[in-house]
Amino acid sequence: MTTLPETTQRKLGLVIDLDTCVGCHACVTSCKGWNTENESAPLADKDAYGANPVGAFLNRIHSFEVKPEAAPAQTVHFPKSCLHCEDAPCVTVCPTGASYKRVEDGIVLVNEKDCIGCGLCAWACPYGAREMDPVEKVMKKCTLCVDRIYNENLPEVDRVPVCVRTCPSGARHFGDLGDPDSDVSKLVAERGGFDLMPEQGTKPVNKYLPPRPKDQDIDVLAPFLEPVTTAQGGFLGWLDRALEKV
Amino acid sequence: MHPAASIIAFTTLSGMGFGLLAFLGLGFPEVTGWSAFWFFFIAFALAVGGLIFSTFHLGHPERALKAFTQWRTSWLSREGWASVGTLGLMGIFAAFLVLFGIRLAPLGWLGALACMATVYVTSMIYASIRTVPRWSHWSTSVMFVAYSLSGGALLSGEVPAAILFLVLTGIAQFFAWKFGDSRFAATGSTAGTATGLGQFGKVRLFEGPHTSDNYLTKEMVFVVARKHSVKLRSIALALAFAVPVALLLLPFHHLLAALAVLCHVTGVLITRWLFFAEAEHTVSLFYGRD
């Protein structure tokens, strides 16, 4: 059913720390791996070793340069996957009911057996979170690892999305953003987490944490590190002084 | 947006087909028997042919019937119902006219209304896509209906109506382009809002997430046409509107009328190509190709 639920019991989602992400793409690789080897149809590649390789991914890392007005530019690595929006436009446009948002946890999923591969949901998503599988011809998207987070065959530590489990710098956090007392909600409040493209009115569940400000003030010890003399000694110094006089 | 041949053919042909059906439903021209058969044959061939083309766009056309289920929220699903319902209505109207020579006039009027409603519903598939600001506007529906009426008038041989609709649609298209060009910028979406990093400084893509193209860049970050847009728009306006009007103003001859239809169809195909190729999607903001 493509009618969006009024409210969901929980709002499971990710909090991504743009300050900590080092842009290693480990989450991309682990996501591709998990979602190729498990329940859903494999996340396929086409012409993987040929001249024009193309493949479906549920998570991509862009790198941006941010240039403040009066400070040096900064590189920010920017992981992007489905934001599991409360007002998900990808769900309502689906003609077959393959796309849906779950009432119990707010996860947006695609039932691959009902998907006709029309691509309208990918058009409706402002973030580019959905990709057509080049082999299966059905729409693929982040499932928030729904086949891990409730999977009692896995050790408890592994019952989080694989991208979160993999991230070596701890830049990805998973939890219930509908509960103001959850760790992720507190983190968002503390660090000033924000929505992507709020003007699109999608009400994304996933939040992004801003890069922390770089050191603005010079360290108090800096004056002691000033060079003692700038005058050049030796032959070059003599040459410099001599030429200066000519 | 990627200008897929299947969707261009679908919107162009079915738009003209439903336009012609609308005119036939209203009794322009008032035909019966064999001539009615041929008029309806052309109209149904265009409308149904267009719909068949649309299924070429699907990854799984064998599951297409499932698209009838979500009419509560999806304009694409509503499009399916509207098309089938309208074709059914007009099919009954045509059958009585062709087989028995009986004109069920109220059914024809209802059918004509349904034809325009169907074209409107088709337009809403695009106009409801908020991520493409150029489409997400009432003018998209106005233009789809206007094109359908122009094509219908031309195919039905109603010369004064055709001239009127062609001129009006041509002018409307000019303004739709003019105002459409600034609509993306007007939404305020930039790489800064897309990444949320605009609050810290000027945001520029430093390195893309992948080295070759992917589904997103092929489907939604299509920028090939932009540099030729003025030339293509001029050619489209000339072929779709100016030349057919000039041909219709000449003394009537079947050959000239056929030429006018051919020019119009070619012109409309170009405008539809531009409708997709020039449409900017917000995903392009993540790819530094806005």
Rounded CA-CA distance A29/A193 in Å is 26
ipTM given for this complex: 0.94
Written in H, E and C, the secondary structure of chain A is CCCCCCCCCCCEEEEEECCCCCCCCHHHHHHHHHHHHCCCCCCCEECCCCCCCEECCCEEEEEEEEECCCCCCEEEEEEEECCCCCCCHHHHCCCCCCEEECCCCCCEEECCCCCCCCCHHHHHCCCCCCEECCCCCCEECCCCCHHHHCCCCCCHHHCCCHHHHHCCCCCEEEEECCCCCCHHHHHHHHHCCECCCHHHCCCCCCEEECCCCCCCCCCCCHHHHCCCCCCCCHHHHHHHHHHHHC
Q: How far is CA A23 from CA A171, B30, B192, B270, in A?
A: 10, 69, 19, 43
Mean pLDDT over all residues of chain A? 93
Q: What pLDDT does A147 receive?
A: 94
**Residue A227: is its pLDDT beyond 80?**
no
Report yes or no on A35 lying in a domain: yes
CB contact under 8 A, B57 and A200: no
Say yes or no: A5 contacts chain B, CB-CB below 8 A.
no
Domain chopping of chain B, boundaries:
5-287
Q: Class assignment of domain B5-287?
A: mainly alpha
pLDDT at A246 over 90: no
Residue B66 gets which letter from DSSP?
Answer: G
Residue A21: give its domain's CATH number.
3.30.70.20
Q: How far is A79 from chain B (nearest CA, A)?
A: 9
As a whole number of angstroms, the distance between CA B241 and CA B244 comes to 6
Other C-beta atoms lying within 10 Å of the C-beta of residue A49: 6
pLDDT at B222: 80
Report the pLDDT averaged over residues A22-32: 97
Can you give the length of chain A in residues?
Answer: 246
Encode B120-138: b = buried (16+ Cβ within 10 Å), e = exposed.
bbbbbbbbbbbbbbbbbbe
Give B-chain residues touching A97 at CB under 8 angstroms. 66, 69-70
Dihedral angle of Cα A101, B134, B125, A136, to the nearest 10 degrees: -60
Q: Which two tokens stand for residue B283?
A: 């995903």
Closest listed residue to residue B189, CA positions, set B100, B282, B97: B282
What is the reported pLDDT for A230? Answer: 72
Interface test with B, best of A28, A80, A197 (most B CBs within 10 A): A197
Q: Is A239 on the interface with B (CB under 8 A)?
A: no
User: Does the pLDDT of residue A233 top 90, yes or no?
Assistant: no
Chain segment A67-107, per-residue pLDDT in tens: 999 888 999 999 999 999 999 999 999 999 999 999 999 99
For the beta carbon of residue A9, count every other beta carbon within 10 angstroms: 13
Degrees (nearest 5) of the Cα angle B274, B277, B279? Answer: 95
Contact A83, A101 (CB under 8 A): no
Q: Extract the tokens encoding A25.
A: 């793409």
Residue A16: which domain range? 12-209
Q: What are phi and psi of B73, to 5 degrees?
A: -120, -25
Q: Does the pLDDT of residue A61 top 70, yes or no?
A: yes
Among the ranges given (A149-158, A217-226, B89-98, B154-163), the one the predictor scored with the smallest mean pLDDT: A217-226
CB contact under 8 A, B66 and A96: yes
- Interchain proximity A117–B219, CB inside 8 Å: no
Residue A117, pLDDT score:
96
In Å, how far from its chain's centre is CA A118?
26
pLDDT of residue A221: 80
Nearest CA to B73 out of A107, A98, A209 is that of: A98
Q: Is residue A76 part of a domain?
A: yes
Would you say B206 and A75 are in contact if contact means Cβ atoms under 8 Å apart?
yes
Distances (CA, A) of A59 to A56, B147, B160: 9, 41, 57
Contact B195 A61 (CB under 8 A): no
State mean pLDDT over B60-83: 96
User: How far does B92 lie from chain A, in Å, by closest CA?
Assistant: 27
Distance between CA B55 and CA B62 in Å, rounded? 9
Name which of A61, A67, A138 is nearest B209 (Cβ-Cβ).
A61
End-to-end CA distance of chain B: 12
A163, pLDDT greater than 60: yes
B198-251 tens-digit pLDDT: 999 999 999 999 988 899 999 998 877 677 889 999 999 999 999 999 999 999
Task: Return the structure tokens found at A94.
Answer: 């689906």
Which pLDDT value is given to residue A236? Answer: 85
Task: Judge whether A135 is closer than 8 Å to chain B, CB to CB.
Answer: no
A67 to chain B, any CB pair closer than 8 A? The answer is yes
Q: What burial class does residue A215 get, using C-beta atoms within 10 Å of its C-beta: 0-12 exposed, 13-18 middle, 19+ buried?
A: exposed
**Mean pLDDT for the stretch of residues B163-184:** 97
Torsion-angle region of B275 (φ positive above 0: left; ψ -120 to 50: alpha; else: beta): alpha
Residue recorded with tokens 């509960």: A179
Q: Which candidate in A101, A115, A118, A195 is best for mutational testing of the B interface (most B CBs within 10 A)?
A: A118
- Which tokens in the block code for residue A225? 């590190």
Is residue B289's pLDDT more than 80?
no
Cα atoms in the 13 Å half-sphere on the side-chain side of B90: 34
Chain segment B115-135, per-residue pLDDT in tens: 999 999 999 999 999 999 999
Domain count, chain A: 1
What are the structure tokens assigned to B242, written together? 């100016």
Work out the pLDDT band at A232, boundaries 50, 70, 90.
Answer: confident
Q: What is the pLDDT of residue A41?
A: 78
Q: Given an 8 Å threshold on Cβ–Cβ distance, is B213 in contact with A54?
A: yes
pLDDT band at B290 (very low <50, low <70, confident <90, very high): low
- In which residue are the tokens 């998907």 written? A115
A237 in a structural domain? no
Q: Which residues contact B237 (CB under 8 A, 6 or more apart)?
A: B170, B173, B174, B267
Note if the bond before A213 is cis, omega within 30 degrees: no
Q: What is the pLDDT of residues B19-69, one digit of tens each?
A: 999 999 999 998 888 999 999 999 999 999 999 999 999 999 999 999 999
Residue A217 has pLDDT above 70, yes or no: no
Per-residue burial over B269-284, b if 16 or more Cβ lie within 10 Å, else e, is bbbbbbbbbbbbbbbb
Is A224 inside a domain boundary? no
Confidence class of residue A216 from pLDDT cuts 50, 70 and 90? low
Angle at A110 between CA A109 and CA A113, to 5 degrees: 145
Residue A138 predicted with pLDDT over 60: yes
**Measured CA angle at B119 (ends B264, A124), to 5 deg:** 105
Within-domain flag for A233: no
**Greater confidence, B264 or B211?**
B264
Taking the Cβ of residue A191 and every Cβ of chain B, the question of whether any pair is shorter than 8 Å is answered with: no
- Pairing of the two strands A207-209 and A12-17: parallel
B187: chain A residues, CB-CB within 8 Å: 199
